[in-house]
Structure 1
Amino acid sequence: MIDITLENFETEVVAASMSVPVLVDFWAPWCAPCKTLGPVLEKLEAEYAGRFKLAKIDSEQEQQLAAMFDIRSIPTCVLIINGQPVQGFMGAQPEGLLRNFLDKHLPSAEELQAEEQEEQAQEALAEGDTQGALEALQSAVATDPANDEARFDYVRLLLQLGREDDAKVAFAPVITKAQGSRRLGALKMWMDALDFVAAGACGAGAEADFDAKIAANKRDFDTRFARARWLIAQQRWTDAMDELLEILMRDKTWNEEAARKAYVAVLEIIEPPKPKVADGQIPPEDPVVASYRRRLSSVVLS
């Protein structure tokens, strides 16, 4: 719990809410219901162990802040997430209702644990500890099976390591969501390309065969697309996108925009996790991803 003034409001409420929800309690020393509510909120803050931060504002001493939130009566509580008020309540609520309110809006303990494990995985990858990253991501998925971001990172890393069977097992619980999710759909496209190659569609000397057919007919889009899938299976990402661009430059809508969809999927796969930056700053975009996004836009919009 922290006392908020006009001077520390931006730091302790707005900026802090970018990483953890902040519950702002507007109160006054003379307010009897405030004296009832306050200790209960402090107890819940301790019990919820980091799932939210309690900030108290004396509405008489900080009238400018009270006016900013249009406080008409006290106690009034407002929940701030990502710098924005999302919900609130007035009056001294029973503990059970307060728990219901918090549980409705706050991330669960499992979600927070999974997020921490994801961060550990990214740190491990940055240090070159691939096995440590894999174990952390596996734990994140086990902790919070509904966390599709952690599952994406886990399946992607398995595929990068050539562990296709393990990747398919990890992907199976969300395969029905792939059609409606760009990121999950990208993983399915990658696995489909691996299956395409494994089925014998690209045998020995495949690259020479592709080149010969394309040289004979630059509009042989079936061969160009097969070559792109073969390149994707080898994780030759920029070569694959270059081939897909060759299709797009000649026919943007070929085969229900298959080339554009595959190109966008590759961008999803190769985009690295965004680094942490100071609040209010935009993380830099990976230069390769940025370059190929611009090339796609140039071709599609031309």
Structure 2
Amino acid sequence: MIDVTVENFEAEVVAASMDVPVLVDFWAPWCGPCKSLGPVLEKLETEYAGRFKLVKIDSDQEQQIAAMFGIRSIPTCVLLMNGQPVDGFMGALPEGQVRAFLDKHLPSAEEMIAEAEEEAAHEALADGDTDAALERLQHAVATDPANDEARFDYVKLLLTLGREDDAKVAFAPVIAKAAGSRRLGALKSWMDALDFVAAGAYGESAGAEFDAKIAANKRDFDTRYARARWLIARQRWTDAMDELLEILMRDKGWNDEAARKTYVAILEIIEPPKPKVAEGQIPPEDPVVATYRRRLSSVVLS
């Protein structure tokens, strides 16, 4: 529990809520109900073990903050997540009701562990430590199997490292969801491309064979699409998108929009994790992703 003032409000409440939900308890020393609610909140903060952060604001001493939140009576509690108030309650609620309020909004312990492991994995990747990143992501998926974001990152890293069989095993529990999920569908497109290349025994020399066929017939879309999938299998992402654009410029709807769908899948695969930002703010976009999104829009909307 932390006492918050105007001086530390930004750091202890707004900034902190970007990483963990923050419960703000508005109270005053003369308030009898506040004295009964305070120990309940402190007990739950300890019991929830990092799932939320409790801060206390003396509404008499910090009238500016109280006015900002429109506090009319005390005790009043406000829950902030990602820099914004999301819910609250007034009065000295019994422990069971406070617990129900928290459980409605807070991530589970498993979700928090998985999220922390994801962030640690991204940091490890930024440092070039793929082994540590893989271990973190594997733990995240094992801890919270329903976390599709962690699973996406885990399968993506396995594929990036060429561990296709391990990737397929890790992907199997969510394969039925691929058709309704852009990110999971992107992974399936990648694995389908790998299977296509393996089945066709397309080796390094296939590139020259594809080029020769395309030179003879610019509208040989089957060959262009095969070349794009061959490039995907080699993780030559921008080259693959360039080839898919060649199809789209000539026939946007070819083969049930296969070129557009595969192009979008590549964008999902190559887009780096977005940093956390306050609600309402737009995270910066990767320049390569931004460029190829614009190219797709230009072709599709032309």
After TM superposition, list the pairs within 5 Å mapping 1:194-273 onto structure 2: 194-200=194-200, 202=202, 205-273=205-273
CA distance in 1: counterparts of 2:36 and 2:299, whole angstroms: 64
Deviation of 1:46 (Å)? 1.9
Conserved 8 A contact 1:18-1:279:
no
Q: Which has the higher contact order (CA 8 A, sep 6+)?
A: 2
Shift in CA distance, 200/29, structure 1 to aligned 2, threshold 3 Å: same
Report what 1:56 is aligned to. 56
Listed as ranges, the gaps of 5+ residues in structure 1 are none
Which region of structure 1 is more displaced relative to structure 2, 75-84 or 57-66?
A: 57-66
CA distance in 1: counterparts of 2:30 and 2:204, whole angstroms: 84
Deviation sequence 1:108-140 (CA, Å, 0-9, x none): 211121122122222322332222221111111
Report what 2:294 is aligned to. 294
Pairing 1:65–2:65 present = yes
After TM superposition, list the pairs within 5 Å mapping 1:101-180 onto structure 2: 101-180=101-180
After TM superposition, list the pairs within 5 Å mapping 1:5-84 onto structure 2: 5-84=5-84
CA distance in 2: counterparts of 1:25 and 1:83, whole angstroms: 16
Deviation of 1:211 (Å)? 1.7
CA distance in 2: counterparts of 1:78 and 1:128, whole angstroms: 40
Shift in CA distance, 9/128, structure 1 to aligned 2, threshold 3 Å: closer
Deviation of 1:73 (Å)? 2.2
Conserved 8 A contact 1:137-1:154:
yes
CA distance in 2: counterparts of 1:33 and 1:243, whole angstroms: 68
CA distance in 2: counterparts of 1:151 and 1:128, whole angstroms: 20
Which region of structure 1 is more displaced relative to structure 2, 123-132 or 246-255?
A: 123-132
TM-score normalised to the size of structure 1? 0.92
Deviation of 1:67 (Å)? 2.6
CA distance in 2: counterparts of 1:145 and 1:121, whole angstroms: 17
Deviation of 1:61 (Å)? 2.4
AA of the residue aligned to 2:134: L
Identical aligned pairs, as a percentage? 84
RMSD: 2.2
User: Number of residue pairs matched?
Assistant: 302
Shift in CA distance, 278/89, structure 1 to aligned 2, threshold 3 Å: closer
Conserved 8 A contact 1:45-1:52:
yes
CA distance in 2: counterparts of 1:279 and 1:31, whole angstroms: 33
Deviation of 1:215 (Å)? 1.5
Conserved 8 A contact 2:76-2:88:
yes
Conserved 8 A contact 2:26-2:58:
yes
CA distance in 1: counterparts of 2:103 and 2:284, whole angstroms: 34
CA distance in 2: counterparts of 1:279 and 1:37, whole angstroms: 30
Listed as ranges, the gaps of 5+ residues in structure 2 are none
Deviation of 1:152 (Å)? 0.7
